[in-house]
Amino acid sequence: MGIKSLGIRVLEQEDSRHKKIRYRSADPDLCRFDDSVPTLLQRIYAGRGVTRQDELNLALTELPPPDQLLGIEEALTLLTEALSENLSILVVGDFDADGATSTALSVLALRSMGHQRVDFLVPDRFQYGYGLTPEIVALASQQQPDLLITVDNGISSNAGVDAARALGMRVLITDHHLPGAELPEADAIVNPHQSGCLFVGKNLAGVGVIFYVMSALRSRLRDSGWFADRGLEQPNMARWLDLVALGTVADVVPLDKINRVLVSQGLARMRAGQMRPGIQALLELANRDHRRLVAADLGFAIGPRLNAAGRLEDMTIGINCLLADDVARARELALQLDELNRDRRIIEADMQREALAIIQELHLDEESMAWGLCLLDVEWHQGVVGLLASRLKERFHRPVIVFAQGQNGELKGSARSIPGLHIRDVLDTIATEYPGMIDKFGGHAMAAGLSLSAREFADFSVAFDTEVRRLLTASELQAEIIVDGELLSEEMNLLVAQQLRDGGPWGQHFPEPGFYGEFDIIEHRIVAEKHLKMTLSLPASGSDKGYIDAIAFGAVDKHDVSDLPRRMEMIYRLDVNEFRGRQSAQLLVDQLLIPEKSLSHE
């Protein structure tokens, strides 16, 4: 098996912008795999920087120990004292899937270790915003906790930590977001991004960080005789890897070796039917067979349903779904999440139409559009602006911040970036150069959140565009599609599709294999009003001419499919389709590249 490698192909679209299709380079001479790895997969792995057999070992024994996590000893001291003294613990989570899984794992792990005085609190994003704010501390104080544990937040909560300690609470921060110049005065902080932290797992999601902390706590308690002295069964931390896998994939953190181990092991347990009842219920509602589960199912089917609670109402629904031991209760809560997700889709679709209308009314084409695009509509839903920012970023290939109305004249913004621009650093620079312009901000390289006064919106928009123009070049606003070359006709079969499917987990920075191809369209039809179903003719192989089914999800909203040309170029993935118990290979078409819009090739 082999992939055609043709360098860089440049397609000049009718909007005068260029889309580059780049083929990943892979030197087979660098590969050190045995014969158990198909040649095609060897080249795909090499294109992602994996060239040795041992790098494919995703056993739990491959995980590095927690010893080099800065702050882990202080964290374990706090936790062991809380358990031995039966102190009240309150977990303060975040309102996304990573925060929900982190919260659920914390509560379940502590309870399994014999501690029952543990509860959780997740902020209402619309009333309190993100993180351990003084307002959240005031709310938490009503439960009179002795120890606050933040999960997936807290690293920027300086004022909140001060408020908690002033009320006599101890604070343990576990987080994975980038810290600011000054750390909170917490009793302990575990965050691999802390300065001086030697732990190699810099890409852990929030749920990965708390998994490490709870695993270290389990080991500390075991070594001290805690479980034996109390007649408790020592918990197997692997039982919560389903939560770790879900939170890791849903938070779109890079799938480095450590995260691939965590996700792979979590998926293996789920495929074996070993998962929380809430996750099982969500899978059923999404019509996903747990026996064939892949990482994409977590990211595109389960994660959005869980996130819908935090976007539209209260993530408490999602956390309780994950915590539920009763199957009937789990299904009841999962149904609520599914209904919220349906509502979210409607709201998001309306906001997309309104955003595009704003851009059209301003007569912005892609030449005159801001390099750093800011959009505001006071009627937009605060919980959905992040999704809208992502859609606009993908459509126009530039950093985007979408704002909605918050409380007391405050705007809440959600930012998404493109490769080459660290969005949190941009916000940090603006906050430094224009003191008082931004009230609060935080996030990662590719996504961030912020709040500012409505009167600052116009000036901030200019400052954001100016800083983006300073950091980017015009060529970086040209979308680049990176694929793994072209598949041969004889490779487009069920065996290869299954090998690619099983070769993951695929995800952020370890993307699912994608390919370029040119096909004759034998027939096509629209299904479910917005998807394009096609039968394609494969290039002739000998005297035979093969055919393969293909589907382009959402194509009706992106293209005029009423009069498709007979022959088209496509960017696609090879996948396994199962229909009425029969499996077959099919192409999942990510992009249709219509020939008459292609003016030149290089």
Using one digit for the tens of pLDDT, what is the confidence trace for 221-276? 999 999 999 999 999 999 999 999 999 999 999 999 999 999 999 999 999 999 99
> Is the pLDDT at 11 greater than 70, yes or no?
no
Position 22 in a domain = no
Q: What's the confidence (pLDDT) of residue 13?
A: 38
For residues 469 and 488, state if they share a domain. Answer: no
**Rg, C-alpha atoms of the chain:** 25
Last residue of a domain, one of 453, 477, 501: 477
CATH of the domain at 237: 3.90.1640.30
Q: What's the confidence (pLDDT) of residue 600?
A: 32
Q: What's the confidence (pLDDT) of residue 365?
A: 65
> Is the pLDDT at 8 greater than 80, yes or no?
no
Which of these, 90, 93, 189, lies nearest to 141 by C-alpha position? 90
> Is the pLDDT at 403 greater than 50, yes or no?
yes
For residues 95 and 195, state if they share a domain. Answer: yes
Give the span between the Cα atoms of 549 and 492, in whole angstroms.
11
For residues 98 and 126, state if they share a domain. Answer: yes
Cα separation values, 420 from 469, 477, 479, Å: 12, 10, 12
Q: pLDDT tens digits, residue range 466-491?
A: 999 999 999 899 888 899 999 999 99
For residues 248 and 316, state if they share a domain. Answer: yes
For residues 109 and 223, state if they share a domain. Answer: yes
Among 114-118, 354-358, 596-600, the minimum mean pLDDT is found in 596-600
Average pLDDT for residues 365-388, to the nearest whole number? 89
Q: Which domain holds residue 273?
A: 61-337
For residues 473 and 490, state if they share a domain. Answer: no
Average pLDDT for residues 317-341, to the nearest whole number? 97
Task: Please report which residue ranges of 241-384 form alpha helices under DSSP H.
Answer: 241-250, 257-271, 277-285, 295-297, 303-312, 316-323, 327-361
> Is the pLDDT at 315 greater than 90, yes or no?
yes
Mean pLDDT of the chain: 90
CATH of the domain at 430: 3.10.310.30
Q: Hey, what are 255's tokens?
A: 């799938």
Last residue of a domain, one of 428, 445, 477: 477
pLDDT band (50, 70, 90) for residue 107? very high
Last residue of a domain, one of 337, 354, 388: 337
> Is the pLDDT at 325 greater than 50, yes or no?
yes
For residues 318 and 368, state if they share a domain. Answer: no
Average pLDDT for residues 341-366, to the nearest whole number? 87
Give the span between the Cα atoms of 104 and 243, in whole angstroms.
8
> Is the pLDDT at 167 greater than 60, yes or no?
yes
> Is the pLDDT at 347 greater than 90, yes or no?
yes
Give the span between the Cα atoms of 101 and 110, in whole angstroms.
14
Position 38 in a domain = no
Residue 487's DSSP bridge partners are 3
Number of structural domains, the chain? 3
Position 56 in a domain = no
pLDDT band (50, 70, 90) for residue 363? low
Percent of the chain whose predicted confidence (pLDDT) is above 90: 77
Give the span between the Cα atoms of 190 and 211, in whole angstroms.
11
For residues 463 and 498, state if they share a domain. Answer: no
Position 257 in a domain = yes
Percent of the chain whose predicted confidence (pLDDT) is above 70: 94
For residues 467 and 491, state if they share a domain. Answer: no
CATH of the domain at 551: 2.40.50.140
pLDDT band (50, 70, 90) for residue 544? low
Pick 181 or 453 by higher pLDDT.
Answer: 453
Length of the chain: 602
For residues 510 and 385, state if they share a domain. Answer: no
pLDDT band (50, 70, 90) for residue 21? confident
Position 445 in a domain = yes
For residues 368 and 329, state if they share a domain. Answer: no
Position 434 in a domain = yes
Position 9 in a domain = no
For residues 137 and 240, state if they share a domain. Answer: yes
pLDDT band (50, 70, 90) for residue 539? confident
Is 545:516 a contact under the CB 8 Å cutoff?
no
Average pLDDT for residues 182-194, to the nearest whole number? 96
pLDDT band (50, 70, 90) for residue 26? confident
Is 166:189 a contact under the CB 8 Å cutoff?
no
Position 301 in a domain = yes
